[in-house]
Amino acid sequence: MNQILLIVNTRKPAALKLAYKLIGWGQKKVINFVAPSHESALLGLPEYDWSSPSDSVKFGVVLGGDGTFLRAARMVMDYNIPLYGINVGRLGFLVTGDPQKAEEEVERILSGEYRIQKRRVLKGSVTRKGNLVHVLYALNDLVVTKGPLARLIEVESRVNDYFLSLLPADGIIISTPTGSTAYALSAGGPILPPHVDAMVMVPICPHTLYTRTLVLGPDDMISLIPKSDQKEIYLTQDGQLGYELMVKDRIDVSLAEDKSVLTIELPEDNYFDLLREKLQWGNVRIRQTEEEW
Residue among 200, 197, 202 at smallest CA distance from 218 = 197
Structural domain tally of the chain? Answer: 2
Q: Specify whether the CB–CB gap between 167 and 208 falls below 8 A.
A: yes
- The one catalytic residue in 66, 141, 238, 252 is 66
Residues 193 and 272 in one domain: no
Q: Specify whether the CB–CB gap between 252 and 127 falls below 8 A.
A: yes
Please state the separation of Cα 40 from the chain's center in Å.
23
| 3-state DSSP assignment of residue 35 | strand
Residues 227 and 170 in one domain: yes
pLDDT tens per residue, the chain (293 residues)?
Answer: 579 999 999 999 999 999 999 999 999 999 999 999 999 999 999 999 998 876 789 999 999 999 999 999 999 999 999 999 999 977 789 999 999 999 999 999 999 999 999 999 999 999 999 999 999 999 999 999 998 877 899 999 999 999 999 999 999 999 999 999 999 999 999 999 999 999 999 999 999 988 899 999 999 999 999 997 777 899 999 999 999 999 999 999 999 999 999 999 999 999 999 999 888 887 755 545 544 55
What are the residues facing 237 on neighbouring strands?
A: 142, 241
Considering all CA atoms of the chain, what is the largest pairwise distance in Å, rounded to the nearest integer?
62
Helix axis angle, 102-110 relative to 13-29, nearest 10°?
50
What are the residues facing 169 on neighbouring strands?
A: 153
Residues 142 and 186 in one domain: yes
Residues 238 and 173 in one domain: yes
Residues 73 and 12 in one domain: yes
Please state the separation of Cα 114 from the chain's center in Å.
21
CA dist., res. 94 & res. 238, Å (int)? 13
DSSP labels, 259-284: EEEEEEE-TT--HHHHHHHHTTTT-H
Residue 175 structural domain:
121-258
Residues 170 and 134 in one domain: yes
CA dist., res. 153 & res. 229, Å (int)? 8
Q: Specify whether the CB–CB gap between 25 and 103 falls below 8 A.
A: yes
Q: Specify whether the CB–CB gap between 62 and 84 falls below 8 A.
A: yes
Residues 136 and 252 in one domain: yes
Residues 128 and 160 in one domain: yes
Burial of residue 250, with CB atoms counted within 10 A of its CB: 0-12 exposed, 13-18 middle, 19 or more buried: middle
Residues 238 and 278 in one domain: no
CATH code for the domain in which residue 24 is found: 3.40.50.10330
Q: What are phi and psi of 291, to 5 degrees?
A: -65, -35
CATH code for the domain in which residue 184 is found: 2.60.200.30
pLDDT of residue 290: 47
Residues 193 and 64 in one domain: no
Residues 211 and 172 in one domain: yes
Residues 253 and 126 in one domain: yes
161 part of the active site: no
For residue 289, CA distances in Å to 98, 285, 286 come to 28, 6, 5
CA dist., res. 116 & res. 137, Å (int)? 21
